[in-house]
């Protein structure tokens, strides 16, 4: 059983930066690819980015590309989402999720599908004020 704990959310202003963390337990962390999703009030859960088991491969949603960076430290069983130039539309609860399999699927549809991820963190709130 894999447990994920999200942290690092907070209240920031437009243009600020914030780094989220997700720490795992109960598993060989490098065997899992990790993803970040977010969900704003009244909206569906949205893919943000994903990172392979080694950390060498990352993909991002167009809405965050160039502003958000995913990274991981397998020695610490942790994955991070560094967010810069934050906008009010980035306001959401952010979740990390894990899928067994270190290699990123070639299909974007599969990478972005929340149903492909077996384990989820509890979420951390990010609020960006204008």
Query: For strand 92-100 and strand 119-120, is the pairing parallel, antiparallel, or unpaired?
Result: antiparallel
What pLDDT is attached to residue 3?
A: 95
Low-confidence ranges of the chain (pLDDT < 70): none
Report the SS3 class of residue 45: coil
- 3-state DSSP helix/strand/coil percent for the chain, to nearest 5? 10, 50, 40
Task: Name the β-bridge partners of 49.
Answer: 36, 60
What pLDDT, on a 0 to 100 scale, did the predictor assign at position 72?
Answer: 97
* pLDDT score at 21: 98
Q: Is 82 helix (H, G, I), strand (E, B) or coil?
A: strand
Q: What's the pLDDT at 26?
A: 80
| Alpha-carbon gap, residue 72 to 92, rounded angstroms | 22
Predicted pLDDT of residue 106: 84
**Residue 95: what pLDDT?**
98
How many CA atoms does the CB half-sphere of 18 hold within 13 Å? 22
């Amino acid at each position: 059983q894999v447990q994920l704990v999200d942290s690092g959310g907070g209240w920031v202003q437009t243009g600020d930066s914030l780094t989220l963390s997700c720490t795992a337990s109960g598993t060989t962390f490098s065997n899992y690819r990790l993803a970040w999703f977010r969900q704003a009030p009244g909206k569906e859960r949205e893919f943000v980015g994903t990172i392979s088991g080694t950390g060498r491969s990352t993909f991002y949603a167009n809405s965050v590309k160039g502003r958000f960076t995913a990274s991981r430290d397998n020695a610490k069983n942790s994955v991070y989402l560094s967010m810069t130039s934050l906008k009010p539309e980035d306001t959401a609860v952010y979740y990390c999720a894990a899928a067994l399999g270190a290699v990123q699927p070639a299909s974007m549809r599969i990478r972005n599908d929340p149903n492909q991820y077996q384990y989820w963190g509890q979420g951390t709130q990010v609020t960006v004020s204008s």
